[in-house]
Amino acid sequence: AQTVTQSQPEMSVQEAETVTLSCTYDTSENNYYLFWYKQPPSRQMILVIRQEAYKQQNATENRFSVNFQKAAKSFSLKISDSQLGDTAMYFCAFMKIDTGRRALTFGSGTRLQVQP
Amino acid sequence: DSGVTQTPKHLITATGQRVTLRCSPRSGDLSVYWYQQSLDQGLQFLIQYYNGEERAKGNILERFSAQQFPDLHSELNLSSLELGDSALYFCASSVFLAGGRDTQYFGPGTRLTVL
């Protein structure tokens, strides 16, 4: 079974600064996907970024980028130029590539507060 | 707006009762997933359907069941409810591309409170 660990329950950052959220995972699989989802106070789950394990290049989406270290089983999220709207819970998630099963395994989340 | 709709938004019921949560996937998505978010267990995968057929099960209790209908909407049935079933229940949908390249888009969730 896969496990996902987010060791930072809460983090705080000043507006316009950069913050990095950590995520580690444990798996014996070689092919999988990793995701960061954002859950603002509205409780909606919003995809932030995804990374295919077979790709060495780190994914980026505007102000969001990841540092994917496959050997270390580490998948951190960097948020640049933090904005007040980035205040949310952030969940790291793992998905094994299977012919039929596409279940997401989530970490416990990191609550990010962006301070004005 | 993800395009996934869930009804109702809120549900308050008593222990021992049965409820049905409904989900309509995004247009074109064939696969539906149900997740439970609770304070105790975090976000957990419950069950997955693809084009009407069950594809995967997670930590779903025997008191819970689900199905996906020919029009692709899905229902999650929760019976003999207990206080611990109080949670936010999410439905997600995806196209289901080969190789797992699809993305799951989440609905707004149904907040279930069992009193």
Residue A22, pLDDT above cutoff 80: yes
Tokens of B4: 């996934």
C-alpha dist (Å) from residue B112 to B25, B61, B79, B85: 20, 16, 12, 8
Best to test chain A binding among B104, B105, B110 (most A CBs inside 10 Å) = B104
Q: Region A45-73: what's the mean pLDDT?
A: 94
Over the stretch A93-110, which tens digit does the pLDDT of each residue have? 999 887 788 899 999 999
Residue of B33, B104, B109 lying closest to A43 (CB–CB): B109
C-alpha dist (Å) from residue B104 to A4, A107, B33: 18, 16, 8
pLDDT for the residue B62: 95
